[in-house]
């Protein structure tokens, strides 16, 4: 069976890479049909890496004004709806924010195209937004659209991703289809090395790798980093008075935080200013975008389009490629009737 995949809020292609590389050994596979995102460089990245032979199938535009009726039929839908208003970093406006209600366009697409199954993704903070009301409403609307849903909090470091990235993924099967999806177990990935040192250094990043430009570090930042040990940040390191941050209120653990080389990286985000770059454990510098991409399990030949800051944002907003692949393979096995090791959903 071949499943034509449509994608809203597609980002640079982390979910799509996982979908297109999902392989269960039966010939069942997922193919690209179309995608939409509002950001130009992001769409360029997706076109280059996911569907270079059909660039016209990536539609740049604001979903609030985009005409989905022009799109071709699909068998599956993926949508990682914007997380800005649900993230634990920020005001957590939830449904009352600008981006919070955008999940509804995924629901609209489900009603319009009636795909056999879907995958929706968002940050773990979605569960607590608006005192839990947002999550309950989203689950209710997805169910009422005609799908049996399985929401789960995936801890991607348990699935071979070298990063502590925790995301809610909802898989839905159309209610008239007698297929049951179960959350794949992390047990098969327990022996993998998910340290950030291994991810970044094995194999070494080629000298001519794309998106590998280093960020210029000011002398003050270099000095500050020299006092911060692996795993520490600007607030728990023993810094001289002149290098301490004059910040009142919340002290965020990610500010000038250096990686612990023997552990998975902390969550890769799209930010970089104000000390929110991810910092190397031994060299006094921020990671390059290619190093960040490795933490997100993008292959080295995946080329990101745009300025360095735009690329950083694309990488930070993406779903880890290998983590997505695990889930898509579980979906394919569910439809093919192939047993696989599973676990109870954690939401």
pLDDT band at 254 (very low <50, low <70, confident <90, very high): confident
| pLDDT for position 318 | 96
Residues with Cβ within 8 Å of residue 248, at least 6 apart in sequence: none
Looking at per-residue pLDDT, the higher value among 132 and 339 belongs to 339
| pLDDT for position 30 | 98
| pLDDT for position 253 | 81
In whole angstroms, what is the distance from residue 106 CA to residue 60 CA? 16
pLDDT band at 248 (very low <50, low <70, confident <90, very high): low
CB-count exposure of residue 44 (10 Å: 0-12, 13-18, 19+) = buried
Domains of the chain, residue spans? 2-190+319-342
pLDDT of 45 higher than 60: yes
For the stretch 117-134, what's the b/e string if a residue is b when 16 or more beta carbons lie within 10 angstroms of its beta carbon?
A: bbbbbbbbbbbebbeeeb
| Structure token pair of residue 315 | 């990488």
Q: Summarize the confidence of residues 13-24 as an average pLDDT.
A: 98
Residue with tokens 């597609």: 10
Which residues have a catalytic role annotated? 83
| pLDDT for position 337 | 98
pLDDT of 251 higher than 80: no
- Geometric angle at alpha carbon 10, from 161 and 331, rounded to 5°: 60
pLDDT of 257 higher than 90: yes
pLDDT of 233 higher than 80: yes
SS3 163: strand
Q: Is the peptide bond before 203 cis (omega within 30 degrees of 0)?
A: yes
Q: Which residues does residue 58 pair with via DSSP β-bridges, in sequence order?
A: 35
pLDDT of 183 higher than 70: yes
In whole angstroms, what is the distance from residue 179 CA to residue 159 CA? 24
Encode pLDDT of 100-157 as tens digits: 578 889 999 999 999 999 999 998 878 777 777 888 889 999 999 999 999 999 999 9
pLDDT band at 295 (very low <50, low <70, confident <90, very high): very high
DSSP 123-137: EGGGGTGGGGHHHHH
| pLDDT for position 94 | 43
In whole angstroms, what is the distance from residue 192 CA to residue 298 CA? 17
pLDDT of 252 higher than 80: no
Instruction: Looking at the structure, give the CATH architecture of the domain made up of residues 2-190+319-342.
Output: 3-Layer(aba) Sandwich (3.40)
pLDDT band at 98 (very low <50, low <70, confident <90, very high): very low
Q: Summarize the confidence of residues 231-247 as an average pLDDT.
A: 91
């Amino acid at each position: 069976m071949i499943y034509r995949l449509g994608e809203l809020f597609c980002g640079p292609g982390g979910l799509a890479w996982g979908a297109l590389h999902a392989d269960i050994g039966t010939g069942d596979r997922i193919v690209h049909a179309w995608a939409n995102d509002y950001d130009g460089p992001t769409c360029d990245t997706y076109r280059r890496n996911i569907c270079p032979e059909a660039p016209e199938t990536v539609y740049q535009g604001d979903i609030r004004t985009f005409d989905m009726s022009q799109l071709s039929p699909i068998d599956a839908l993926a949508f990682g709806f914007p997380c800005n208003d649900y993230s634990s970093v920020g005001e957590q406006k939830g449904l009352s924010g600008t981006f919070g209600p955008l999940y509804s366009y995924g629901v609209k697409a489900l009603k319009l195209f009636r795909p056999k199954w879907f995958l929706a993704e968002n940050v773990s903070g979605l569960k607590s937004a608006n005192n839990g009301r947002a999550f309950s409403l989203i689950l209710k609307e997805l169910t009422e659209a005609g799908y049996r849903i399985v929401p789960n909090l995936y801890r991607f470091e348990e699935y071979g991703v070298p990063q502590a990235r925790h995301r809610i993924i909802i898989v839905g099967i159309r209610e008239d289809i007698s297929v049951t999806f179960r959350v794949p177990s992390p047990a098969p990935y327990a022996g993998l090395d998910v340290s950030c040192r291994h991810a970044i250094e094995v194999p070494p990043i080629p000298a001519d790798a794309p998106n590998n430009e280093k960020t210029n570090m000011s002398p003050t930042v270099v000095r500050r980093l020299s006092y911060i040990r692996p795993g520490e940040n600007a607030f728990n390191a023993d810094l001289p008075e002149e290098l301490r941050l004059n910040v009142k209120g919340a002290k965020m653990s990610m500010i000038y935080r250096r990686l612990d080389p023997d552990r998975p990286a902390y969550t890769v985000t799209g930010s970089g200013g104000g000390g929110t770059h991810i910092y190397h454990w031994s060299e006094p510098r921020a990671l390059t975008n290619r190093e960040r991409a490795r933490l997100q399990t993008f292959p080295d030949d995946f080329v990101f389009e745009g300025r360095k800051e735009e690329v950083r944002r694309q990488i930070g907003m993406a779903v880890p490629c290998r983590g997505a692949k695990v889930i898509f393979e579980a979906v394919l096995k569910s439809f093919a009737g192939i047993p696989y090791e599973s676990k109870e959903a954690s939401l």
